[in-house]
Amino acid sequence: MGPQNVVILNSWKHVRELFDRRGAIYSSRPENHIGNDLICPGQTHILLVPYGAGWRVLRKTVQALLNVKAVDSMVPIQNAEATQTMYQLLRDPDGYYDHIRRYSTAVILSSVFGQRGAEFNSPKVRALYHAQDQFTSILEPGATPPVDAFPLLRYIPQFFASWKAKAKAIRAEQHSLYFALMEETKTRVAKGIVTGSFMERILKDQPKNGLDDEHVAYLGGILMEAGSDTTASILLSYMLGIISNPAAFAEAQSELDRLCGTGRSPVFDDLDNLPYLRACMTETLRWRPVAPGGIPHLLIQDDNYEGYHLPKGTIVFANAWSIHRDQEYRSGDEFIPERFLNNKFGSQVSKEEGNDYRRVTYSFGAGRRVCAGQRLAENSLMLNMAKITWGFDISGKDRDIDTDVKTAYTDGFVFSPKRFAVNITPRSERHREVFEAEFQAQRHVFARYED
């Protein structure tokens, strides 16, 4: 690509060898002038920061925040917000798109900053989505001149480079939002109002980890970025998947009926007893990965692999879209959860033996830069998929609902389904009553996160 060497990995075997086994040299990031210099200077954005000491401090902090005990302590608010989402779907099924997007952002807002986002139109929910949309749009290939491949373009005066003005505006918007949320957390802690949020823990450990306020504020903001739009996209893709395969939806409903009956909706403790629903989740991640092209890694020294010489500075992509459509997957373009019941990799030819370092899904990346929030995301996905499947009948309003990524999905670095015509109705009056009662019972959980 111009003067830049680029390698695209289309098989899990190559990703395993280069990203997972040789992670020490394949874990950096390409130069990103707009992201790292104009919008997030000072190595503040963990997704974009090059591999090195600065990244390791941020990564260590994030991993400490997202350990199993800490993540599972967030289950009560995840369950409460999922219950509210079901209540909103009862009251306003046509607003499903915003209800699901509200859920994913509200969970992250409460988990990270100890605050609520009770409605999609809540100022902070809207502010986060706007800031994130602006940030991802300017980072999309083609959105700006190729300033990293041709560094001379960086010196074009701002008068002739509208992208510079846009980058500065995004920087100001992000900075204002993230710092405001951090300062609000500090104020509440000073008043003795503690929710156990991630930001409270970051601030408590700030002297130990050596992060200044700029890094702390952006760490909180980036945790919100990573967990909001991505979770919503997968949940919306799940709805498209089950509409395209009604038999799979019926099987998932039968599994939930056997476990929960009609007296209650599923909760976190049920999730390990729902193998078919988990297969549905894994199939959704395979069928529609949110970052289908992967996030670029940078090789930091010369390397050789299978007869190829890869020079230092080569950009390497793990192409999740192609990996998830390998010939090992029967009918790879179709939504078929059963593929994951007999083989955890969903493969028709590969056995588990000899698959060390192979990942069940590449939706969360690979190697040393794999997403640290995978467990938090999967908890949210399983809870919502379980409750939606247990409580609602879902079908497309159109005979042939569009699921094609070329027409039914947004473009960009992270893609998501566009709004689609769908019927969402409670399975019975009893299911409706259960959701309404459970929503009322969650008010004590919400009260912890309200001023």
Contact 214, 130 (CB under 8 A): no
Instruction: For residue 371, say whether it is annotated as part of any ligand binding site.
Output: yes
Instruction: Tell me the angle at which helices 374-391 and 96-113 cross, rounded to the nearest 10 degrees.
Output: 140
Structure tokens at 53: 């000491």
**Rounded CA gap, 21 and 8, in Å?**
17
Handedness of CA 285, 290, 292, 298 (dihedral sign): negative
CA atoms within 13 A on the CB side of 230: 24
Contact 29, 206 (CB under 8 A): no
Residue 51 carries which DSSP code? S
**Rounded CA gap, 180 and 115, in Å?**
12
Contact 229, 416 (CB under 8 A): yes
Strand pairing of 308-310 and 422-426? unpaired
Contact 385, 280 (CB under 8 A): yes
Contact 315, 298 (CB under 8 A): yes
Contact 359, 12 (CB under 8 A): yes
**Rounded CA gap, 318 and 348, in Å?**
22
**Rounded CA gap, 209 and 56, in Å?**
11
The amino acid that residue 396 corresponds to is: G
Burial 258-297 (b: 16+ CB within 10 A, else e): eebeeeebbbbebbeebebbbbbbbbbbbbbbbbbbbbeb
Contact 260, 266 (CB under 8 A): yes
CB proximity list for 192: less than 8 A, separation 6 or greater: none
Residues, the chain: 451
Q: How far is CA 258 from the centre of its chain?
A: 30
Which segments are annotated as binding site for heme?
Answer: 371
Which segments are annotated as binding site?
Answer: 371
